[in-house]
Structure 1
Amino acid sequence: MYKEVLEGMSEGVLVLDVVGKIVFANQAIAEIFSLANDGFIGKRLLEVIRLVELSDLVEAVRRSGQPVEREMKLVFPAEKNLLGLANLAGDNIAVIIRDITAMKQLESLRSDFVANVSHELKTPLTAIKGYVDTLVAGAIDDPDNNRRFLEKIAKNADSLAALIDDILALSRLEVHRGIAPFEKVFLADEIEKALETLAPAIKEKRIEIVNLSGGAVVGEPSQLYRAILNLLDNAIKYSHPGGKVEIVIAKTEKELCLSVTDHGMGIPAEHHARIFERFYRVDKARSREMGGTGLGLAIVKHIMEIHGGRVELKSAAGQGAKFTLVFVSRHL
């Protein structure tokens, strides 16, 4: 009976006798270490699992007679992070092994995210503090500079607010929180709203907008608006003055594709694989200068995943960029 219970466990269970030979191993052990399902009972541990850290764990229990827990790193045949807990079981030694690779990856992502957020928050805060200190030191009475410094403070405060807004939006999307019920959404309406929001930037850069849009999908209007806004905002920012941005919707029986194309500087191929990562920028200095938070495309990606679709990129250096929102048939 106990063997059936152990076989059903997701953790690996290994039992060694007094001379270090394997007397029991459940299916999870075979999966964790990529072993054949039989043939290892009665063999010594290192003959079957060539992981010195595991052997050391067993020996530590044998010497101390106390439970021992350690993290281990498996390199071959696949790289994994393992947590082992070993203890005496009568004359034998029992070892429970848990694959913690996914947990370690999440910890790494969380650590990277905190580091990136800290850095991104520090940049505008440092600038704001610098200008405030200069004003306090006497520049407030300098009519040639005080207004310029205040405008710089306001610009950095806006960047800070935008960054916090994007961080909160991304965190809600990742846990699917705050998503309103889906409904029929006419994409032309959301495109028009986004263009109205971006009208000052369009006018300032003299961008020609070619809007060949139409069609509807089932989705969350405010999230789809945000995805479209982010793509159009990027297209305008990275277009040359007097350039053109094209919005096209194409529909087939299985998909509806909304593409936003600019004819600006483009994105080199080596950046395509990471372009939708949080805080990833092709040109960090230029992105910050233009007011980007580094989260816009990550937000677009998550919005499309919530809608069962995807976002695609086609671009090359100096040849503009085409981002496409792809909606599959069940959302049409």
Structure 2
Amino acid sequence: MNSRLAFWLPAMLRLFGVLMLSSVIGFFFGSISGLVAAALALAFIALMQLSYLYRLNSWLDDPDSARLPDGWGAWTDVFSRLYRMRRDDEKHQTELIEWLARFRQAMSLLPDGVVIMDDVLFLEWCNPAAERHLGLKLDRDEGMRVTNLIRNPDFMDYIILGRYEQPLILALKDRKLILQIIPFENRRQILVTHDATESERIEMMRRDFIANASHELRTPLTVINGFLEIAYLQPNLDSQTRMSHLKLMAEQGQRMQNLVEDMLTLTRLESVDYPMRPERVAIHSLLEQIQQEAEALSAGKHTITLHVDGPDINGSTDELRSAFGNLVSNAVRYTPTDGAIKISWIEANSGPQFIVQDNGIGIRPEHISRLTERFYRVDKSRSRETKGTGLGLAIVKHVLLRHSAALVIESTQGEGSLFKVKFPSNAVHHPQPVDQAS
């Protein structure tokens, strides 16, 4: 009621003023003159109203082309309110643009792909992850039908059937993708893509690990149980046969123990509950011990040399002993009799390096990239002869990851192999200065 009164009261007062002025003119100059004055005043007011209506109409046709006009009387309030509405609208549009930019930026950082489509599957927007997963390009494919961009029979069937409550598992571009369409609003749909390639690879590694570990443990258990059964059923075995059986059982028991210890070592290296506690690693002393262990393993069948010309580093002595020892023992196991093995510790421009070089049987190129996988064996029959657990290089890999180091393997079949561990320059141990009494 107050807003209505505020609008009509000024108009009624102006109209009353016109009538009063006309009455005064009519009183002094005659009734005709008063009527003419009143008509002219009303005509002037009407023209002003039409003028403001025209200016308002022109501004409404193109609000961005001109400044909002000023007004007089009631038009002052009308134009003032329109100005506030326009200002609020511009503010809301700016906020909307900012929110849209922030939304797209957030979507661009997601590891999962997001594709926004209209109700007939025309591409409106997608993030970089979706471009990688599906081979799309937003600047090239915007406005095109997604079914023309993703030409896969399973995807077409998924679209046609429209059963979007269940995701679609799709093999596309050497990736395993999980796709799902989520309808939203009345004219929009979202296609979400998740790259499950890495998780599938990890799951496969887990299954292989369990299968291989079970297989590796079953063999010695079979041997031990077999001999125990023989000893139970044939208590009168001669001492030589009994001692032979006991020797084989002890070997298989040691094999199981080594395997279990390596599995526990891997578990500890991968666990966040066992962070590395860096200490000064006395490299010269450590490598001398590893050389002595290698010579004992070789039993005089190889020439093993050691060259140390580099600084001590910060790290875990026990972990590095395990990693370096695995590399050296592998060189001994896979180098024929009378072969040569060279152990080196040098300081390069990029940082210290540990190198094991042999002239053994070598490795074919297709095997090199998989050597650090658990239980991966180049030659299974030879691995049984060398009594390895198949976890040595996997342990090396995880120890080096904890020390920010990298393993480089170079090998030529029939000529030998070179295993090089590169440490970062910041791994070098710098002795703390000793305060001297003045």
2:384 is aligned with 1:284: no
| One-letter code aligned to 1:260 | V
Q: Residue 186 of structure 1 contacts residue 214 of structure 1 at CA under 8 Å; is this kept in 2?
A: no
TM-score, normalisation: structure 1: 0.84
- Picking from 65, 89, 92, the partner of 2:184 is 89
C-alpha spacing 1:13/1:263, structure 2 compared with 1 (3 Å) = closer
> Partner of 1:272 in structure 2?
368
Partner of 1:73 in structure 2?
A: 171
Q: Provide the aligned length of Structure 1 versus Structure 2.
A: 324
- Equivalent AA in structure 2 for residue 81 of structure 1: K
Give the secondary structure class of the aligned counterpart of 1:280.
Answer: coil
Deviations 1:109-129 (A, max 9, x none): 222222222222222222222
Counting only pairs closer than 5 Å after superposition, residues 111-260 of structure 1 correspond to structure 2 as: 111-138=207-234, 141-175=237-271, 177-198=273-294, 200-202=296-298, 204-215=299-310, 216-260=312-356
- Summarize the Cα distance change of 1:304–1:88 in structure 2 as closer, same or farther, 3 Å threshold: closer
Query: For each residue in 1:225-244, what CA deviation from the matched residue of structure 2 results, as whole angstroms up to 9, or x when unmatched?
Result: 11121122222223344544
Specify every segment of 5 or more residues in structure 2 that has no aligned partner in the other structure, as ranges. 1-95, 429-438
Q: 1:149: how far off?
A: 0.8
Q: Deviations over 1:205-244 (max 9, x none)?
A: 4444322224312221111111121122222223344544
Shift of 1:138: 0.9
Q: Distance in 2 between matches of 1:16 and 1:262?
A: 60
Deviation of 1:322 (Å): 3.0
SS of residue in 1 equivalent to 2:176:
strand
Match for 2:130: what amino acid? I
Q: Tell me the SS of whatever aligns to 1:321.
A: strand
Q: Cα distance 1:250–1:90, how it changes in 2: closer, same or farther (>3 A)?
A: closer
Distance in 2 separating the partners of 1:101 and 1:219: 34
Which of the residues 122, 138, 148 maps onto 1:47?
A: 148
CA contact (8 A) 1:72 1:83 kept: yes
In structure 2, the residue matched to 1:314 is 410
Q: Are 2:125 and 2:138, in contact at CA under 8 Å, matched by a contact in 1?
A: no
The SS at the match of 2:167 is strand
Specify the structure having the higher radius of gyration (Cα): 2
Moved more, 102-111 or 167-176: 167-176
Equivalent residues of 2:291, 2:306 under 8 A apart? no
Aligned-partner residue type, residue 168 of structure 2: R
Q: In 2 relative to 1, CA 6–113 (structure 1 residues): closer, same or farther, beyond 3 Å? A: farther
Which runs of no fewer than 5 residues in structure 1 stay unpaired? none
CA distance in 1, matches of 2:292, 2:121: 73
Alpha carbons of structure 1 residues 17 and 234: separation in structure 2 relative to 1, 3 Å: closer
- What is the CA-CA distance between 1:37 and the residue it aligns to? 1.4
Two-structure CA RMSD over aligned residues (Å): 2.8
Q: Distance in 2 between matches of 1:40 and 1:301?
A: 43
Partner residue, 1:101: 197
In structure 2, what is the Cα distance between the partners aligned to 1:130 and 1:205?
Answer: 35
User: In structure 2, how many angstroms separate the alpha carbons of the residues matched to 1:261 and 1:97?
Assistant: 46
In structure 2, which of residues 122, 132, 135 is the aligned counterpart of residue 22 of structure 1? 122
Cα 1:206–1:12, aligned 2, differ >3 Å: closer, same or farther? Answer: closer
User: Which amino acid letter does the alignment assign opposite residue 56 of structure 1?
Assistant: D
8 Å Cα contact 2:121-2:147 kept in structure 1: no
**CA deviation map 1:242-293 (0-9, x unaligned):** 5443222222333322222334333344433333332222321121122101
- CA deviations on 1:285-330 (whole Å, 9 max, x unpaired) are 1211221011112222322232222223333333333322222312
Question: More strand by proportion, 1 or 2?
Answer: 1
Residue-by-residue CA offset, 1:162-190 (whole Å, 9 max, x unaligned) = 11111222233234652432122121111
CA distance in 2, matches of 1:141, 1:294: 35
Q: Distance in 2 between matches of 1:315 and 1:170?
A: 26
- For the residue of structure 1 that corresponds to 2:193, the secondary structure is strand
The letter for the 2-side match of 1:246 is K
Match of 1:298 in 2: 394
Instruction: For 2:205 and 2:416, locate their aligned partners in 1 and report how far apart those are by CA, in whole Å.
Output: 31
SS at match of 2:408: strand
Contact 2:126 2:138 in 1 (8 A): no
Distance 1:308 1:16, change over 3 A: closer
Higher relative contact order (CA 8 A, sep 6+): 1
Which stretch of the first structure deviates more once superposed, 172-181 or 113-122?
Answer: 172-181
SS at match of 2:389: coil
**Partner of residue 32 from structure 1, selected from 133, 143, 160:** 133
Identity %: 29
Alpha-carbon distance between aligned partners in 1 of 2:155 and 2:205, rounded to the nearest angstrom: 27
- Counterpart of 1:306, as a letter, is R
Deviates most, 261-270 or 158-167: 261-270
AA matched with 1:22? F
- Secondary structure of 1:274's partner? coil
Misfit runs of 4+, over 6 Å: none
